[in-house]
Chain A
């Protein structure tokens, strides 16, 4: 009951201000889409189609947003084509009912990724969009992190509180790790989370709990993602020796704290070649490659329902997989949207990274734009972790990543406007 009242108050507050500030409806939609408050507050708001209400409100608000950028970036253009392509491929999908069920949410994520950059034009607005992505993930991190600290965690345990596509163990482990650079950005630059001491406490607690949650899910994807984060941290820090000492000290305690079950599960990474779960994924990937050879335009959403593959194992047995999910963003896109889909997917990610690095270089030349450069860096780090962790989890269409992609485009529009100002215009000798 109290949860319901709290959630209701959030919506009343946003609706009260939203008519004067239309972008608040977009924030409400992002929050609703990622957190799914209906799942945590059955009373009062149960049965209300909140996503639809705020989705419609956000699209209506789009027409009233002032100072919308007029340019369509390459990333947005490809995203529009990707949205059309996923609809065409769903019409031709092999498994029609399942394909349309997935299209329903994947299409909404894609459409919002296209629209999102046009709502948020100022520093505060871009930050608010980022926070609306981070807060629902943070809520799940708190739940999983504290439960792990109290009970030790475990694989396949339903420890998350609520969330759209982010509460499954492997996905949560990867997502929790990938948002750590953005929590650190909030710690250093946030204007909206204040006062400073609260920002510090909140951000650092979430970083610590995110690491605990990533490991506490017992997902091997989490360990791989954390390893990449630590490597990125090594290259980013100036105090490399101190960093290595702290990391080694913490790592020495992790195995003891997490227990034998965790160590045993992580040890299976070394014997993945003979492990049925890991080789089942390889079998699904090999099936996808065979399938795309004959069907270069893919089989539509959830085409993995029809997969069947026999794989000889190292011990001489034959592993047979049937209806095995892709467990990889790359094979998911390749199997479902074919070669054109994969080309679009990779070009969007590549363009996003290149653009964010360009923003970082631009911001480096102006001390007052440190926030912008570090946000771009945080988004790039987050994308790298998504690309590595995503190689083992099928989350190619989940909204969280596409919202971050849209926030990157908002940042580009903001940087482009600054570049037109005389004080920020590139000098003759300047390189960008």
Chain B
């Protein structure tokens, strides 16, 4: 029961983080001007 809760936490949080990361990166790509310091050379 407790182990199931731990696995559920681990997997759902990873799913949530990955989805959020993908969303934020897409928003970033849409913005014409990148934030200072990021990805610039």
Contact check, A3 vs B38: say whether CB atoms are below 8 A apart: no
Q: Let me know if A274 is at the binding interface, CB within 8 A.
A: no
Q: Provide the B11-41 mask, 1 if CB < 8 A to any CB of A, else 0.
A: 1111111111110110010000001111111
The stretch among A52-60, A132-140, A228-236 that forms the contact with chain B is A132-140
Q: Is the CB of A414 within 8 A of B37?
A: yes
**Nearest chain B residue, comparing its CB with the CB of A191:** B24
Verify if A35 is at the interface (C-beta below 8 Å from B).
yes
Contact assessment for A9 and B15 in the assembled complex, using a CB-CB cutoff below 8 Å:
yes
Q: Which residues of chain A come closer than 8 Å to B20, judged between CB atoms?
A: 191-194
Q: Which residue, A24, A135, A191, A423, has most C-beta atoms of chain B within 10 A?
A: A135
The answer to whether A14 has its CB under 8 Å from any CB of chain B is: yes
Contact between B14 and A31, CB atoms less than 8 A apart: yes
In the complex the two chains form, what is the Cα distance from A255 to B11 in whole Å? Answer: 34
Q: Known: A124-B24, A124-B25, A138-B10. Contact between A66 and B39, CB under 8 A?
A: yes
Q: Is the CB of B16 within 8 A of A193?
A: yes
A143 touching B39, Cβ below 8 Å: no
- What residues on A are CB-neighbors of B14 within 8 Å? 10, 31, 132, 135
A140 to B6, CA, bound (A): 7
Number of chain A residues whose Cβ lies closer than 8 Å to a Cβ of chain B: 50
Contact partner of A14 (CB less than 8 A), chosen from B2, B3, B18, is B18
Closest B residue to A420 by beta carbon equals B37
A3 touching B36, Cβ below 8 Å: no
Main secondary structure, interface of A, reads helix
Q: Provided the pairs A21-B25, A125-B21, A139-B10 are in contact, do residues A146 and B2 lie with their beta carbons within 8 angstroms?
A: yes
A246 close to chain B: CB less than 8 A: no
A-B pairs with CB below 8 Å: how many? Answer: 115
Binary CB contact string for chain A from 146 to 170 against chain B (1 if under 8 A, 0 otherwise)? 1100100000000001100000000
A179 to chain B, nearest CB (A): 14
How far does the alpha carbon of A131 sit from the alpha carbon of B12 in the complex, in Å?
Answer: 13
Which of B6, B12, B36 is A161 in contact with, Cβ under 8 Å? Answer: B6
Q: Tell whether, in the assembled complex, residue A21 and residue B38 are in contact, meaning their CB atoms are under 8 Å apart.
A: no
Known: A121-B39, A124-B24, A418-B37. A142 touches B6 (CB 8 A): yes
Max count, chain A CB within 10 A of own CB: residue among B16, B21, B40: B21
Q: Is the CB of A13 within 8 A of B18?
A: yes
Q: Does A63 contact B (CB under 8 A)?
A: no
* Bound form: Cα–Cα A417–B20 in Å: 24
Contact of B17 among A66, A121, A161, A193 (CB under 8 A): A193
The residue from B7, B9, B17, B19 contacting A41, defined by CB atoms under 8 A apart: B7
Question: Per a CB cutoff under 8 Å, which of A24, A132, A424 touches B37?
Answer: A424
User: Of all chain A residues, which has the CB nearest B2?
Assistant: A146
Contacts of B3 in A (CB 8 A): 40, 143, 161
* A208 → chain B closest CB, angstroms: 15
Q: Which chain B residues border A135 with CB–CB below 8 Å?
A: 9-10, 13-14, 17
**Residue contact A143 to B21, C-beta cutoff 8 Å:** no
State whether the Cβ of A268 lies closer than 8 Å to any Cβ in chain B. Answer: no
Q: Which of B's residues lie within 8 Å of A, judged by CB?
A: 2-22, 24-25, 28, 35-41
* For the complex of A and B, 6 pairs with smallest distance between CB atoms: A418-B37, A139-B10, A67-B39, A143-B6, A161-B6, A417-B37
